[in-house]
Amino acid sequence: MFDPCNAACKPSGRNAPTSCVMVIFGGTGDLSQRKLIPALFHLIREGFLSGELRVLCVGQRPFTVDEYRDMIDKGAKGFIEPSLFDAAAWNAFVARLDYLSGIVADQNTYQRLSDRLEAMRLEEGASADRMFYLSTPPSAAPVIVEGLAAAGLVKEDLGWSRIVVEKPFGQDLDSATKLNAQIAHVCDEHQVYRIDHYLGKETVQNILVFRFGNSLFEPLWNRNHIDFVEITATETLGIGNRGRYYEEAGALRDMVTNHLLQLLSLIAMEPPIAFDADAVRDQKSQLWNSIMPMTPEQIIQRTARGQYGPGFAGGKRVLGYRDEENVAPDSRTETYAAVDFRIDNWRWAGVPFYLRTGKALAAQVTEIAIHFKHPPLALFSHIRSENDLPLHCIEPNVITLRIQPNEGITLSFGAKQPGSEMRTSRVSMDFYYHETFNERLPSAYETLLLDVMRGNATQFLRRDGVEAQWRLITPILETWKALSPPQFPNYSFGSDGPQVADALLARNGHAWTPLVPAQDKSSA
């Protein structure tokens, strides 16, 4: 008899081969110190790296190997989770890190890298499987990929060769298409892993299990039952010392491209025919392609932007965006963006998908709220209370998928209050990851690095997906640029965002879920 569980749920396995050489370009930078190196150490401590992993950083600074190890010891050690820290294991890990100093624009660097890798393979027994992680500014990516190719390092004669490219993948459709073409010129798409760390989060991965691993929800997952969907990713902090980066990026580029459009695709895509890289990414691309790019008139109607002004945080007065370091005093850069996307397919026609993101807001929340329609008959609304006041109507059901904090899922529904009168309340069923599984959640980078080593590209962006996203975002960027300067700042630090974003939903009779700081349940 066919056993679907046996067929589909083959564990990827703690023992899947993971021996490789990981070459990090930009191994001295913030991402390497805070995320990549700690993720590798966590994977070793958790027993996931069964093979012989070697790490070689290629950096432009004239460090010796010992100086590099010292830098990592001082920098990355502070980001190791205390529950996984062990001094002897850490020292042994750091003592095996390698460093090669070289300028990325100099072809000689790649020849020396190739020689070093070959020596590691022949003399030290290192693997011929290689991961090249580009943790460098976006402008360096084409130079490095071409340098690797010219030195023969993307050939897969003896082992695999995979290139991990960090976001952002371009600044608009033109630059993304050009970057993709430059990469495609020297290596095959199956070798390219475009990383968006959001996709490595447990709760993001759980969206697919929630939708396609349960028979309860999928029949309701369409325009007949769902009224609207809210996708929220907000932060309480301002831009801090990232003014230079943020002035170029803005909220729409920084968060809506990649992160929020990824969440949208997971919530709205059709079921893939299998849980493999191409099947899942085919469905994502199909979903993005079924959203028509908006006309300038639609953009005016269906988008909102904002920029934070001064306010109070933790009882202290805090700066507005235009007063931050490296920000122009008349900056037009948005620190808040909201878009009402419509998906022009059979399942979702007419259902608004509201995406919002911003800095310096009232709460740090990343979640998706699925708002269901009212019941077809308001059975209880005619019953009056003793004072002849209408009873509370039952509010429509909402399923909330919390990405962070308090990772989990809440289903809210109406229930009768105890007593002889017919009174109703809104109650909820809650699932919290930490309460249920009582296990450490791996960081997104741990999950994704392991995926690269195992050759699983499901949670990485494919070329067509990147371009499909920019096809949606570029017209908004262009229209916003062409319009007369917005009245910025238009929301205060610590508020729920600009009024124009409320008006965006009010037009359709909807309202945003208020931003309420969550009570921490993670230690429960």
Ligand X SMILES: NC(=O)c1ccc[n+]([C@@H]2O[C@H](COP(=O)([O-])OP(=O)(O)OC[C@H]3O[C@@H](n4cnc5c(N)ncnc54)[C@H](OP(=O)(O)O)[C@@H]3O)[C@@H](O)[C@H]2O)c1
Residues in contact with ligand X by the rule CB under 6 A: 26, 28-31, 59-61, 104, 135-138, 140, 166-168
Does residue 259 carry a catalytic annotation? yes
Three-state SS letters, 260-329: HHHHHHHHHCCCCCCCCHHHHHHHHHHHHHCCCCCCHHHHHHHEEEECEECEEECCEEECCHHHCCCCCC
| CA dist., res. 131 & res. 160, Å (int) | 8
Which C-beta is closer to ligand X: that of 35 or that of 371?
35
Closest distance to ligand X from the beta carbon of 493 (Å): 22
Residue closest to 194 by CA, chosen among 453, 403, 465: 465
Give least dist CB 250 to ligand X, A.
Answer: 14
Q: In angstroms, give the least distance from the CB of 101 to ligand X.
A: 9
Distance CA 42, CA 53 (A): 13
User: Could you give the CA distance from residue 408 to residue 518 in angstroms, rounded to a whole number?
Assistant: 12
**Tokens 């959001």 -> residue:** 198
Q: What is the 3-state secondary structure (H, E, C) of 56-125?
A: EEEECCCCCHHHHHHHHHHHCHHHCCHHHCCHHHHHHHHHCCEEEECCCCCHHHHHHHHHHHHHHHHHHC
- 179-186 contacts: CB < 8 A, separation 24 or more? 179/138, 179/141, 179/142, 180/463, 180/466, 180/467, 182/142, 182/145, 182/146, 183/141, 183/142, 183/145, 184/463, 185/146, 186/145, 186/146, 186/148, 186/149, 186/154
CB of 96 to ligand X, least distance (A): 20
For ligand X, the closer of residues 60 and 177 by Cβ is 60
Query: C-alpha angle with apex 417: 414 to 419, nearest 5 degrees?
Result: 155
CB nearer to ligand X: give 77 or 167.
167
Looking at 42, 197, 225, 259, which residue is catalytic?
Answer: 259
Nearer to ligand X, 4 or 62 (CB): 62
What's the min distance (Å) between Cβ of 33 and ligand X?
8
Q: Between 34 and 426, whose beta carbon lies closer to ligand X?
A: 34
User: Toward ligand X, which CB reaches closer, 109 or 265?
Assistant: 109
Judging by DSSP bridges, how do beta strands 226-234 and 352-358 pair with one another? parallel
Residues 6+ apart with CB under 8 A from 174: 474
Contacts of 113 (CB under 8 A, 6+ apart): 23, 56, 58, 100, 102, 151, 153
Q: Helix (H, G, I), strand (E, B), or coil: what is residue 400?
A: strand
For ligand X, give the closer residue by CB, 103 or 415. 103
Are 41 and 78 within 8 A, CB to CB?
Answer: no
DSSP secondary structure of 249-260: HHHIIIIIIIII
Q: Which residue is nearest to ligand X (CB)?
A: 29
Nearer residue to ligand X within complex by CB, 29 or 494? 29
Which residue numbers are catalytic? Answer: 259
